[in-house]
Amino acid sequence: MKEMKEMEEIDDKEFYLYYLNDLSFIPRPSNWIEVIMDKKIFSLFKTTLEYIRFIHVMAGHITLSFLTDFTLPLSQPFNFMFMITSFLIISLLLFPANIIIEICRLFNLFNFEFYDEAKWNRMTARKGLDKIKNIVQRGRKVLSSDFHGSQIFNLDMVETLLILSTIIYDQNVDKMHQVFRNLKIHEGNDFNELIDDCRVAYEDIDKKAKKLKMKFLPLSELGIPDSLFSGMYLSEHNDDLENNFIVVTFKGTSPTNFVEWLTDFLFMRVDASQFLFGEIHKGFYENFFPKTLDKTKESYPAKRMVESICNLAKKMHERNKKKVNVWITGHSLGAALAQVFYARLMKIDPLPDYCVLRDAYVFAGPAVGDKDFASTFNGIFNKNFKENRMLWRIVNTNDIVTKMPPQHLYGMLRRYITKDDILNYYSVGYKIQLFLDNNKPKGVVLRKKNDDEEEKDDNLGSMEDMLSKKLIDDRKDYEDSRFTLNNILNSILGKHNIASYYDYDINHSPNELIMDKIETFIPGIIHNHFPHRYFMAMERLRSNEYELVVGEYKNIIDKLLADAHVVF
């Protein structure tokens, strides 16, 4: 036992060294910038610098687009106007919003750290930590399974991945910045102090992971030491049969991190054919790959990440002689990064013999690439049916991030959009649509269970019941369409179903209820983007009160989905 513990500590140190090596490739800023960044009062200056850089990149793209094609306003008026309009809106709204956030932070007007911590607290609300542990325990068995011969949407596993995607938000950014600065001035061969500092930067994540009998290791800062990063989870269960999976997880957008928002809004694409396929979102691409072709042979984040993952998998394989499953996940911006990285793994596949690339599950993710990227990516899944890999895009009701870049808003213009248009974005993978706020998809019947009576021949009740329900629904839709203040507010904020929402959060402390009250006024298009809202939607699929009828299926758990819709 002592020998095994010692081996774990050696492994831990080894992979923190891999992480420090990745961190060492990030250029150190000039001395005067470092001095400014160390002072809290100058955080506004940092925001201004990032804003200027963003304006420079966007303005340069628009200018070059016009200079290389003077006819652009006439030949592609919609694309040109959208490019100009989106640039102006983002420029005029994003910077002032962040200035307000920085002022609030400077004068402690709002506890932003509490908000990040609330993601996890709200995830465990009502269920309790013990039940969360039970979900993860069952999820680990699926993650460790040797057999994945059919496309399965297992709720325990998917919720486990969502939980891990939520925990990863708890990085200590200030401590990580300190590690980065100390690394750049470090002398000698002893890195133990830096490794200890790394552990402190990620201790909040690791503590929560240990409660779930998992271990967390940081993987990469993705080229910028400013809270955009990825990590790996692996099982610490005593049963070696469960110690054969790695979950690569990407952190999502923090509401108060200006750099991450700028990454999200860099809509222009770059040629990704050398490392991926087609063209992809510039902001996402540059987190993984060299910005210029003359540096393609050098080490870059995606390459270092694959090396670190394979080295960890090799160590795990040596322990129990089992192949190691590699899963990919992330929420929000993390979902976008997960899609890009999964595409890279698909392109360089096969991984070493001791690694098995499994599925990717991404929550609340935007589109990342153009039509060429999407068609090539989706085509890979059809090359070998025996492998049964899949990227699952899990989407919540009215989540605006999943509709960005705004390719969904202009479906009618698809045939008129050219390869170079800013709207040339397509989603990839298999979409799983969750429904909240009393919404449900057409063609899917949700009914109350009746275990005491035999089912009707048509499984849907009598024609009288169906007609009555249809008329009631029609009247309700008509009432909802009336021009009243209540309906206007519902349209703007979304129907949060407040009664059931508070019932879900009954285990919250009084301080956490402040966030409850705030969230009721957040528009549904933003509110339903939060991780706990995704968790809530999936948890209600377990309800014993309702059953789902989709085609011939009456239960979606552990079934091949006949339809890309999930509803409670």
**pLDDT tens digits for 461-497?**
555 666 666 666 666 666 655 555 555 555 444 444 4
pLDDT (0 to 100) of residue 259: 65
Question: What total of structural domains would you count in the chain?
Answer: 3
Decide if 550 is inside a domain: no
For 492, the domain range is 446-530
Output the pLDDT for position 7.
38
Q: Which is it for the CA torsion 117, 360, 8, 11, positive or negative?
A: negative
The answer as to whether 92 is a domain residue is yes
> CA–CA separation, 103 vs 346, rounded Å?
44
On whether both 293 and 407 belong to a single domain, the answer is: yes
So what's the pLDDT on residue 163? 92
Query: Could you say which residues of the chain have pLDDT below 50?
Result: 1-10, 114-115, 408, 442-460, 491-513, 545-568
Q: Do 119 and 97 belong to one domain?
A: no
Least Cα distance to 272 among 295, 293, 297 occurs for 293
Domain boundary among 106, 130, 146: 106
CA 53 to chain centre: 25
Is there a single domain that holds both residue 194 and residue 176?
Answer: yes
| Residue 193 covered by a domain | yes
Q: What is the pLDDT of residue 81?
A: 80
**Does residue 47 share a domain with residue 23?**
no
pLDDT of residue 241: 62
Residue 554 resides in a domain: no
Whether 454 and 314 map to the same domain: the answer is no
What span, in angstroms and rounded, lies between the C-alpha atoms of 481 and 462? 29
Kindly state whether residues 115 and 102 are assigned to the same domain.
no
